[in-house]
Amino acid sequence: MVHKGCGLGRRRLVRGRAVACAPGQRPTIGGAAIAFGLSADAAVDISIVNVAGRLVQRVRQGSEVEPGSHTITWTGRSMNDTALPSGTYLCVLRAKAPDGQQARAVRPISLGR
């Protein structure tokens, strides 16, 4: 399921969206930039799954991230360090604030070779 917003209650933990590239631009060859914003400190997990929902890479796991805008690079490689084929993958971002507030965003990534 693709969520356009990640608001929880009246406050938003994750703002913006996780994206591979700006609209109208071509995907990064061999990898992707994942951009996201946080409105509060949070433990962040970023995973890449294929269209069947199988995990192909953990880009970030449980890292504490401060509020603000962030960009993380995914190399386009799997967990066993093999280059993944061109195609569409899903970036799954989960954030959990110290107060228990949680947010999740899922966005497609087009990987080119």
CA dihedral 72, 55, 2, 93 (to 10 degrees): -40
Q: Tens of pLDDT along 32-71?
A: 888 888 989 999 999 999 999 999 999 999 989 999 999 9
Confidence (pLDDT) at 28 = 54
What ranges do the domains of the chain cover?
A: 7-111
Residue 84 near residue 47, CB atoms below 8 Å: no
Any idea which fold 7-111 has?
Immunoglobulin-like (2.60.40)
Mean pLDDT calculated for residue range 9-20? 40
CB atoms within 10 A of CB 94: 20
**Average pLDDT of 74-101?**
92
The answer on pLDDT for 99 being more than 50 is yes
